[in-house]
A and B are shown apart, each in its own frame.
Chain A
Amino acid sequence: MSDTLLKVRDLKIGATIYPPGERPRDIEIVHGVSFDLAPGKVLGLIGESGAGKSTIGLASMAYGRGGVKITGGAVWVNGRDILKGSHKDIRKLRGAEVTYVSQSAAASFNPAKKIMDQVVEAAVEQKKFSRKEAEARARVLFAKLGLPDPDNIGERYPHQVSGGQLQRCMTALALCPEPDLVVFDEPTTALDVTTQIDVLMAIKEAIRDTGVAALYITHDLAVVAQVSDDIMVLRMGNTVEYGNVDQIINDPQEEYTKALVSVRSIEHEEKAPTEEPVLSVRNITARYKGTQFDVLHNVNVDLYPGQTLAVVGESGSGKSTLARVITGLLPPREGEIEFAGRKLSPDLKGRSREDLRELQMIYQMADVAMNPRQTVGTIIGRPLEFYFGMRGAEKKKRIIELLDEIELGEKFMDRYPAELSGGQKQRVCIARSLAAKPKMIICDEVTSALDPLVADGILKLLLDLQKIEDVAYLFITHDLATVRAISDNIAVMYQGKVQRYGGKSKVLSPPFDDYTDLLLSSVPEMKLGWLEEVIAHRKMESAGN
């Protein structure tokens, strides 16, 4: 066996794209990338969406997703150029020598089959182990990965375990055939921060104990710094910087890497509450129709004019339900909402056009929040017509003003959503909500689907617009860095209750309640050894109690 497990040289990857109204054409998405990986080592591939990191990861299994094709270069695994192998050679490699852990275990497990059947399938099919041996090995891995009831969890179906548990099962699936290399493709991105830290630790220990090598793909530099030996920074299919983890984090050479390391440059001074809140949520208790339990329990929060209230919490904490109650989509069981000095009807049907105009909303998925067959001008112009009856030149003038405010400009007026990038789409959604001249905008995870640098730009824009338009934001997010950047007041939600509420500086300074402490300490920090520190700290604390 050679001392390099995976050797990639001048890898070029192409894809066929189908632009609307044009002929399909071939483009190159990875332009000659080279790296080496020794047995038992971990290489982090980091970059924004479109950097080609997943594509490179899958290329190490000779796989191209959709119409993606490897067009040049060489990939050696254990001394064999796998790109020159036959279909049969490639099938022997996959699931035996190289395995894969995807971002969404929930989607990557077959819903119709038991977890155990799927975990051992590759090992048995590739004749690495007998069915019995593989099952025994899977149970050992389940235990090692910290899954509850490791002896029986394999008998369950994927929908019967939680998202974090399923992600660990996927790691067990990848490790079961005793591969030489595992490709981890954003394995913790879809998880809550408090879950992410446990899965991250489980993965790190599993890598260490089994001596397997790994390609760790993520957009989160703080995460990759915890598990990698080397890091390669990628941008638009090119290598930006390649070095060991210490050098990349502590001494980045390239401008782009520096920007990634120091992302979240926003400084926002907390504003003091003014006398009258624009929105008062009073004693709201709510449940969904046909269910037996409340998802919100006695929630009380205030939002002041021209300020930002961040509602932070993990999935299932009730933060999006709160938005549904405020917008009238889910009438509460108890409590009431006061908005701009008047009581709001609990049901959407009872609200006036003025109520609707003054309370706007921006969503996480900008793509699906816009009609793909309307131009940007039509999309932004619609609220101008609907609320203010604007027509012709007057409307056009206002659309251009709004496009200037979101830093896109007049030339975007005739474009369709499909021609915009993710950040540009979100900007159009912001302009659409501002067109109504609202007093308040509910922002529901508006930066969660965006790359860090793009998200940063959106947050800056929102803060600038707040100053110009004097609009209040109810900012729903699971990301604490975003909360720090943008909020004046913070409400931490947990299991449908407001766990902690007040000004930013007060909420984010000790002493903390247990949940807020757990939440804050789980956010990955951009420094080496952070993961071990936190885990050691938690173990000490639980031993002390």
Chain B
Amino acid sequence: MSPIVKLLAQRIALSLLLLLLISIVIFAGTIVLPGDVAQSILGQSATPEALANLRAELGVNDPPVQRYFAWLFGAMQGDLGTALTSGQDIAQALSSRFWNTLFLAFWAAVVAVPLAIFLGLLAVRFKDRWPDKMISAVTLASISIPEFLIGYVLMYFIAVQLRWFPSVAMVNDNMSLFEKLNAIALPIAVLTLVVLAHMMRMTRAAILNVMQSAYIETAELKGLNAFQVIYRHAFPNAIAPIVNVVMLNLAYLVVGVVVIEVVFVYPGMGQYLVDHVSKRDVPVVQACGLIFAAVYIGLNMIADIVAILSNPRLRHPK
């Protein structure tokens, strides 16, 4: 098992290195951004003395390298600093919103991933016939329409006309799971429509690629039916590319839901980030950037680990 352990260790180490590099980019990026926090806190009428005092207090005058390391070590211990504008502890403010974002992403994934894979298998089974074409057409259409438009259209018909689900996805800790799910039903539907096409088409392509293999012919000549051939013989060999695209979409569900959160007034991280970007609250932007980067890198790492583990040559060396 040693080669596979080595490979996994390498992959994890690479992810950590990547995260470190991203942290540098995020920090450097927010430093070179134009604008002055002190100015935006105190307003246009501030005196030069007041501005200088505030800058010293915020630590903006320290050398950037020193500030970077202070920030990095703080972040590693869970201290993301305080928001400049409100003086709140960022970690505290973010945690409930981060869990809300994960909650929405999780349930969207629970609906979207199995549905996408099932539709992909169905498209392979009926390749080039009407079910395949219909699945492709519908999913492509849904990915092509901007998500806020889908959001408002669903809101109008399902929330306003039919009154099945609420139009505003407000959740809080006092709600039961069922009440929460009821509240986020519409955002889940929109997110599912957005990520479905990509995953479904990749599933279809990956399995069709495997279907060219000689061992598929062997399976057909054993008298298996088409679903058995696809499910037992093609799918296990298409796992790596499928997991890859699933993880990319899961990452999108976490970090890309800004628009949906705004449309449905959902108290997630995206909305928090947008608010503080407009206020030039650099520590908050840095903290959100770092968390988003960690989610992205982590999910992609999981995809690669699954790909390594799904390879029988690596799992069972000669």
State the CA gap A110–B316 with chains docked (Å). Answer: 14
- 185-229 of chain B: CB within 8 A of chain A: 213-215, 217-225, 228
State the CA gap A413–B218 with chains docked (Å). Answer: 42
The secondary-structure label for the interface of chain B is helix
Interface string of A122-160 (1 = CB under 8 A from B): 100110000000000000000000000000000011011
Say yes or no: A110 contacts B223, CB within 8 Å.
Answer: no
Q: Does A112 contact B (CB under 8 A)?
A: yes
Q: Of B213, B222, B310, B318, which one neighbours A95 at CB under 8 angstroms?
A: B222
Say yes or no: B218 contacts A63, CB within 8 Å.
Answer: no
User: Do A108 and B313 form a contact, CB below 8 Å, given A122-B223, A126-B223?
Assistant: no
Q: Which residue of B lies closest to A94 (CB)?
A: B223
CB-defined contacts of B213 to chain A, threshold 8 Å: 107
Interface segment out of the listed A1-9, A97-105, A278-286, A466-474: A97-105
CB-defined contacts of B214 to chain A, threshold 8 Å: 102, 104, 107-108
CB-defined contacts of A112 to chain B, threshold 8 Å: 236-237, 310, 312
Q: Does B233 contact A (CB under 8 A)?
A: yes
State the CA gap A110–B215 with chains docked (Å). Answer: 5
Q: Does A109 contact B (CB under 8 A)?
A: yes
State the CA gap A91–B220 with chains docked (Å). Answer: 8
User: Do A111 and B223 form a contact, CB below 8 Å, given A157-B312, A160-B318?
Assistant: no
Say yes or no: B318 contacts A159, CB within 8 Å.
Answer: yes
CB-defined contacts of B215 to chain A, threshold 8 Å: 107-111
CB-defined contacts of A156 to chain B, threshold 8 Å: 316
Q: Of B217, B223, B236, B310, which one neighbours A91 at CB under 8 angstroms?
A: B223
Interface string of A373-396 (1 = CB under 8 A from B): 000000000000000000000000
Q: How close is A116's CB to chain B, nearest CB, in angstroms?
A: 14
Q: Which residue of B lies closest to A113 (CB)?
A: B236
The total of chain A residues at the interface (CB under 8 A) is 31
State the CA gap A121–B232 with chains docked (Å). Answer: 11
Q: Which residue of B lies closest to A61 (CB)?
A: B221
State the CA gap A92–B222 with chains docked (Å). Answer: 9
State the CA gap A121–B224 with chains docked (Å). Answer: 9
Q: How close is B318's CB to chain A, nearest CB, in angstroms?
A: 6
Q: Does A65 contact B (CB under 8 A)?
A: yes
State the CA gap A125–B225 with chains docked (Å). Answer: 10
Q: How close is B310's CB to chain A, nearest CB, in angstroms?
A: 8
State the CA gap A211–B79 with chains docked (Å). Answer: 77
State the CA gap A431–B221 with chains docked (Å). Answer: 43
Q: How close is B235's CB to chain A, nearest CB, in angstroms?
A: 9
State the CA gap A51–B259 with chains docked (Å). Answer: 62
Interface string of B62-103 (1 = CB under 8 A from A): 000000000000000000000000000000000000000000
Say yes or no: B223 contacts A102, CB within 8 Å.
Answer: no
CB-defined contacts of A90 to chain B, threshold 8 Å: 223
Say yes or no: A125 contacts B222, CB within 8 Å.
Answer: yes
Say yes or no: A93 contacts B318, CB within 8 Å.
Answer: no
Interface string of B172-196 (1 = CB under 8 A from A): 0000000000000000000000000
Q: Which residue of B lies closest to A126 (CB)?
A: B223
CB-defined contacts of A111 to chain B, threshold 8 Å: 215, 237, 312-313
User: Do A122 and B222 form a contact, CB below 8 Å, given A159-B318, A160-B318?
Assistant: yes
CB-defined contacts of B222 to chain A, threshold 8 Å: 94-95, 99, 121-122, 125-126
CB-defined contacts of A93 to chain B, threshold 8 Å: 223
Q: Does A403 contact B (CB under 8 A)?
A: no
Q: Of A61, A110, A157, A159, which one neighbours B219 at CB under 8 angstroms?
A: A110
State the CA gap A111–B213 with chains docked (Å). Answer: 11
Q: Does A96 contact B (CB under 8 A)?
A: yes
Q: How close is A393's CB to chain B, nearest CB, in angstroms?
A: 47
User: Do A95 and B221 form a contact, CB below 8 Å, given A104-B214, A109-B215, A111-B312?
Assistant: yes
Q: How close is B316's CB to chain A, nearest CB, in angstroms?
A: 5
CB-defined contacts of B312 to chain A, threshold 8 Å: 111-112, 157, 159
CB-defined contacts of A107 to chain B, threshold 8 Å: 213-215
Q: How close is A180's CB to chain B, nearest CB, in angstroms?
A: 14
CB-defined contacts of A118 to chain B, threshold 8 Å: 218
State the CA gap A159–B218 with chains docked (Å). Answer: 17
State the CA gap A286–B318 with chains docked (Å). Answer: 24
Query: Which of A61, A91, A126 has most chain B Cβ within 10 Å?
Result: A91
Q: How close is A504's CB to chain B, nearest CB, in angstroms?
A: 38
State the CA gap A121–B218 with chains docked (Å). Answer: 11
CB-defined contacts of A63 to chain B, threshold 8 Å: 220-221
Q: How close is B2's CB to chain A, nearest CB, in angstroms?
A: 15
State the CA gap A125–B221 with chains docked (Å). Answer: 12
Q: How close is B242's CB to chain A, nearest CB, in angstroms?
A: 13
Q: Of B220, B233, B237, B316, which one neighbours A157 at CB under 8 angstroms?
A: B316
- 281-318 of chain B: CB within 8 A of chain A: 310, 312-313, 316, 318
CB-defined contacts of A65 to chain B, threshold 8 Å: 217
CB-defined contacts of A61 to chain B, threshold 8 Å: 221
Interface string of A169-198 (1 = CB under 8 A from B): 000010000000000000000000000000
Q: How close is B172's CB to chain A, nearest CB, in angstroms?
A: 46
State the CA gap A90–B310 with chains docked (Å). Answer: 33
CB-defined contacts of A122 to chain B, threshold 8 Å: 222-224
Say yes or no: A125 contacts B224, CB within 8 Å.
Answer: yes
- 213-269 of chain B: CB within 8 A of chain A: 213-215, 217-225, 228, 232-233, 236-237
State the CA gap A110–B220 with chains docked (Å). Answer: 12
Q: How close is B46's CB to chain A, nearest CB, in angstroms?
A: 64
Say yes or no: B223 contacts A159, CB within 8 Å.
Answer: no
CB-defined contacts of B232 to chain A, threshold 8 Å: 113
Q: How close is A150's CB to chain B, nearest CB, in angstroms?
A: 19
Q: Which residue of B lies closest to A88 (CB)?
A: B225
CB-defined contacts of A109 to chain B, threshold 8 Å: 215, 218
Interface string of A469-502 (1 = CB under 8 A from B): 0000000000000000000000000000000000
User: Do A110 and B233 form a contact, CB below 8 Å, given A102-B214, A159-B318, A160-B318?
Assistant: yes
Q: How close is B207's CB to chain A, nearest CB, in angstroms?
A: 13
State the CA gap A107–B214 with chains docked (Å). Answer: 6
Interface string of B13-51 (1 = CB under 8 A from A): 000000000000000000000000000000000000000
CB-defined contacts of A100 to chain B, threshold 8 Å: 218, 221
Say yes or no: A94 contacts B316, CB within 8 Å.
Answer: no
State the CA gap A100–B220 with chains docked (Å). Answer: 10
CB-defined contacts of B316 to chain A, threshold 8 Å: 156-157, 159-160
Q: Which residue of B lies closest to A183 (CB)?
A: B221
CB-defined contacts of B218 to chain A, threshold 8 Å: 100, 102, 108-110, 118, 173
User: Do A94 and B217 form a contact, CB below 8 Å, given A112-B236, A113-B236, A160-B318?
Assistant: no
Query: Which of B218, B228, B236, B318 has most chain A Cβ within 10 Å?
Result: B218
State the CA gap A63–B237 with chains docked (Å). Answer: 24
Say yes or no: B223 contacts A95, CB within 8 Å.
Answer: yes
Q: How close is A82's CB to chain B, nearest CB, in angstroms?
A: 12
CB-defined contacts of A113 to chain B, threshold 8 Å: 232-233, 236
Q: How close is A298's CB to chain B, nearest CB, in angstroms?
A: 27
Q: Which residue of A lies closest to B214 (CB)?
A: A107
Q: How close is B218's CB to chain A, nearest CB, in angstroms?
A: 5
State the CA gap A104–B218 with chains docked (Å). Answer: 11
State the CA gap A92–B215 with chains docked (Å). Answer: 19
CB-defined contacts of A126 to chain B, threshold 8 Å: 222-223
> With contacts A91-B224, A118-B218, A126-B222 known, what are 20 further pairs, Cβ within 8 A?
A61-B221, A65-B217, A91-B225, A93-B223, A94-B221, A95-B221, A95-B224, A99-B221, A102-B218, A110-B233, A111-B312, A112-B310, A112-B312, A121-B222, A121-B224, A122-B222, A157-B312, A157-B313, A160-B318, A173-B218
Interface pairs (7), CB distance under 8 Å:
A94-B220, A104-B214, A110-B237, A111-B215, A118-B218, A122-B224, A125-B224
- B-side residues, CB < 8 A to A, are 213-215, 217-225, 228, 232-233, 236-237, 310, 312-313, 316, 318
